[in-house]
Amino acid sequence: MSDFDLLIKNAKVATASDFYQTDIAVKDGVISQIGIIDCNAKKIIDAEENIVTPGGVDGHCHLDQPTDDNSVFADDFESGSKSAAFGGTTTIIPFALQPKGGSIKVAIDEYHKKAEGKSFVDYAFHMIITDPCEEILKNELPDLIKNGYSHFKIYMTYEALKLNDMEILKVLSFARDNGAMTMVHAENDDCITLLTKLLLESGKIGPKYHAVSRPIIMEDEATYSAISMSELIDVPILIVHVSSERAMTQIQNAQSKGLNIYAETCPQYLFLTANDLDSEDFEGAKYICSPPPRTPKDQEKIWLGIKTGVFQVFSSDHAPFKFQGNQGKQIQGSETKFCNVPNGVPGIETRMPLLMSKGVLEERIDIQKFVSITSTNPAKIYGLYPRKGTIAPGSDADIVIWNTNNKFKLSNSMLHHNVDYTPYEGIELNAWPLTVISRGQLIVENGNLIANKNQGIFLKSDLPEPAKTLDKNNLLNRLEKNTFKK
């Protein structure tokens, strides 16, 4: 009889704190022993001293999400999760979207139907709150939070999604009372609307003007505004997809004052710039996302922010729209105005290999940082740790064995998403997941998919934060004391 279901020998295991050679034994989908292990197992894999990391946790990706302009997200749970698996991500957290004026509970039920039996990897849900009315805050969200949906995103921009400051304050107060985590998309919508109007009036309609219409100043301003509201309510927030040095500096200043501000950045802010949007033809639309990619100097600073700990999370913000056809980037043909091009870039499969190659192997960051921002921290911040996000006894056996010895040029034909391009076409990489394991099951072996599409299960999220009821007297006394300082 075998002692274990799976034994991985000769692994160079990286966690958020360590990097060491060991064997890993798995039983019933869970890591049961780590050390030099000489026992039987139903299956033995020799990792041949390759790097072994926890499976990635992609804390920000969009799959099969409803839109309001007839565009269609190119990936559903099947293609999106398959692509994630090939890229070494074993947990995804996409978004259940509350339609304005609608129920979040219904949105979640519908999103479950889209996911069930169709995911190759495990999944939790974020919620997107577009209408934080009494009914939602009092009668829907408290139960949802108790039932495993403990994090949500709010938007300061996009007509169909944005909240005003009063609504943001209500959501932040609710998050504090209930121990939830609020993710904030920080861009000033009125300024974007004004600049868009001015650009269109001047006949500036091409893809590159997307970047002009959403300048760094307005990301900076909105980031500071979000931080200020979080400071007032005294509740942690996470600023998503930070693109610029200026926004990052706001976050760094807040963190150095002791405020609990978390931050996420994404591959597009390390590997693309606004110049990618500036093409003669419509090709630039492939790189339209919000906030837009910035300058080479911003890229450098974002790398530094990862290294120095300003960013806790590195997500894909996979928002897949096809380039060809009329449901994606060319929704109104090849002359689609920049402001009507669906926002987002694909990247669920390339997130981890890009950072392993360009970050770890080119020595911009160490392997522990890689693990912490691609896996451990998102698992912690979204209430999935220690089940997810580490290689330790008792954790789910979500494991990636890497091949870091093979230099190649990335091409979209290698990828498994349902998108007809990758923004990173031609980039030279030397890391790719060889074998990917989810709860002890091999899902990718030597580069081949061997899982069923019902492998993935829904994960209930614990509370990310302790619930702290907003004490109104305390808040008012604190403000009064600060106002009349001697």
* Residue 343 makes contact with ligand URP by CB under 6 A: yes
* Residue 264 makes contact with Zn ion by CB under 5 A: no
From 172, 99, 156, 158, select the one nearest 130 (Cα to Cα).
99
Q: Which of 14, 85, 289, 313 binds ligand URP (CB under 6 A)?
A: 289
* Residue 264 makes contact with ligand URP by CB under 6 A: no
Q: Which of 76, 189, 276, 317 binds ligand URP (CB under 6 A)?
A: 317
Task: List strands edge to edge, sheet with 89-92.
Answer: 56-58, 89-92, 122-123
CB of 222 to Zn ion, least distance (A): 11
**Between residues 11 and 61, which has the closer beta carbon with respect to ligand URP?**
61
CB of 159 to ligand URP, least distance (A): 13
* Residue 465 makes contact with Zn ion by CB under 5 A: no
The binder of 246, among Zn ion, ligand URP, none, by C-beta within 5 to 8 A per type, is: none
**Between residues 80 and 433, which has the closer beta carbon with respect to Zn ion?**
80
**Between residues 170 and 241, which has the closer beta carbon with respect to ligand URP?**
241
**Between residues 24 and 242, which has the closer beta carbon with respect to ligand URP?**
242
**Between residues 58 and 317, which has the closer beta carbon with respect to Zn ion?**
317
Q: Which of 81, 213, 230, 290 binds ligand URP (CB under 6 A)?
A: 290
> What Å distances lie between residue 155 and 73, 129, 131, 268, CA to CA?
19, 8, 11, 19
Count residues near Zn ion (CB under 5 A): 2
**What span, in angstroms and rounded, lies between the C-alpha atoms of 454 and 32?**
24
Which pair of tokens denotes residue 26? Answer: 């798995």
Question: Tokens 């060491």 sit at which residue?
Answer: 20
Q: How far is CA 329 from the centre of its chain?
A: 21
* Residue 62 makes contact with ligand URP by CB under 6 A: yes
Task: Work out whether the CA dihedral 194, 196, 198, 200 comes out positive or negative.
Answer: negative
**Between residues 347 and 440, which has the closer beta carbon with respect to Zn ion?**
347
Question: Mask: binding to Zn ion, 167-186, rule CB under 5 A, as x and -?
Answer: ------------------x-
CB of 398 to ligand URP, least distance (A): 25
Q: Which of 186, 319, 410, 442 binds ligand URP (CB under 6 A)?
A: 319
Burial class (CB in 10 A: 0-12, 13-18, 19+), 249: middle
* Residue 61 makes contact with ligand URP by CB under 6 A: no
Identify residue 398 by its one-letter amino acid code.
D
CB of 153 to Zn ion, least distance (A): 7
Burial class (CB in 10 A: 0-12, 13-18, 19+), 369: buried
The binder of 343, among Zn ion, ligand URP, none, by C-beta within 5 to 8 A per type, is: ligand URP
If phi over 0 gives left and psi between -120 and 50 gives alpha, with beta otherwise, what is residue 317? left
Q: How far is CA 368 from the centre of its chain?
A: 19
CB 64 within 8 A of CB 73: yes
* Residue 219 makes contact with Zn ion by CB under 5 A: no
* Residue 317 makes contact with Zn ion by CB under 5 A: yes
Q: Which of 87, 88, 94, 344 binds ligand URP (CB under 6 A)?
A: 344
The binder of 315, among Zn ion, ligand URP, none, by C-beta within 5 to 8 A per type, is: none
Question: Mask: binding to Zn ion, 289-308, rule CB under 5 A, as x and -?
Answer: --------------------
**What span, in angstroms and rounded, lies between the C-alpha atoms of 192 and 400?**
41
Long-range contacts of 426-429 (CB under 8 A, 24+ apart): 427/271, 427/354, 428/357, 429/353, 429/354, 429/357, 429/358
| Binding to ligand URP, residues 10-29 (CB under 6 A) | none
SS3 state of residue 108: helix
* Residue 64 makes contact with Zn ion by CB under 5 A: no
Burial class (CB in 10 A: 0-12, 13-18, 19+), 351: buried
* Residue 339 makes contact with ligand URP by CB under 6 A: no
The binder of 422, among ligand URP, Zn ion, none, by C-beta within 5 to 8 A per type, is: none
Task: Work out whether the CA dihedral 20, 310, 430, 450 comes out positive or negative.
Answer: positive
Phi, psi of 157 (to 5 degrees): -140, 175
Q: Which residues bind Zn ion (CB under 5 A)?
A: 185, 317
Q: Which residues bind ligand URP (CB under 6 A)?
A: 62, 185, 241, 289-290, 317, 319, 343-344
